[in-house]
């Protein structure tokens, strides 16, 4: 029985995906309550954005990246022209990612990034969040 459970757990983790929300206001409130920053991915679906699709299919689908985002952020995916979100976040280019803590945009990431480069961005976000929390103590 333990072997079956282990196999199922491993199989499910291989297909780890980001647990996206699609309501900015709800995600923002959850972010404030939990203390986790928002991870806002803004894409364009019509006409399809090949770089948005590629980012989701490759970089964001990576098991380590998706687990990191799910564990450390409140992830929200928005469509550039049809989703409701603050006008200050309206991007000129897609994909655009905003990391938001409280009322501050901690980092804005524009365009497609491969896994290694995106990890560098995530480490930068972590450093910025840690330095911000140290200043607030």
Query: Within its chain, how far is the Cα of 79 from the centroid?
Result: 14
What structural domains and CATH numbers belong to the chain?
Answer: 17-128 (3.40.30.10)
How many CB atoms sit inside 10 A of residue 120's CB?
A: 11
Cβ contact 55:95 at 8 Å: yes
Contacts of 24 (CB under 8 A, 6+ apart): 40, 76, 78, 83, 84, 85, 86
Residues of the chain with pLDDT > 90, as a percent, come to: 82
Contact 69, 75 (CB under 8 A): yes
pLDDT digits (tens), the chain, 137 positions: 555 444 544 444 455 799 999 999 999 999 999 999 999 999 999 999 999 999 999 999 999 999 999 999 999 999 999 999 999 999 999 999 999 999 999 999 999 999 999 999 999 999 999 987 666 65
* 8 A C-beta contact, residue 132 and residue 101: yes
- The 8-class DSSP code of residue 36 comes to P
């Amino acid at each position: 029985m333990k072997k079956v459970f282990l196999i199922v757990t491993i199989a499910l983790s291989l297909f780890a995906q980001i647990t996206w929300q699609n309501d900015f206001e709800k995600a923002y409130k959850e972010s404030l309550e939990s203390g986790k920053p928002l991870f806002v991915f803004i894409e364009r679906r019509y006409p399809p954005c090949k770089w948005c699709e590629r980012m989701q299919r490759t970089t964001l689908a990576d098991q380590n990246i998706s687990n990191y985002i799910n564990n450390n952020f409140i992830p929200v995916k928005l469509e550039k022209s049809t989703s409701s979100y603050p006008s200050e976040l309206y991007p000129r280019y897609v994909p655009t990612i905003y990391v938001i803590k409280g009322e501050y945009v901690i980092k804005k990431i524009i365009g497609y990034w491969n896994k290694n480069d995106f990890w560098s961005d995530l480490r930068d976000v972590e450093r910025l969040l840690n330095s911000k929390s140290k200043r607030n103590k």
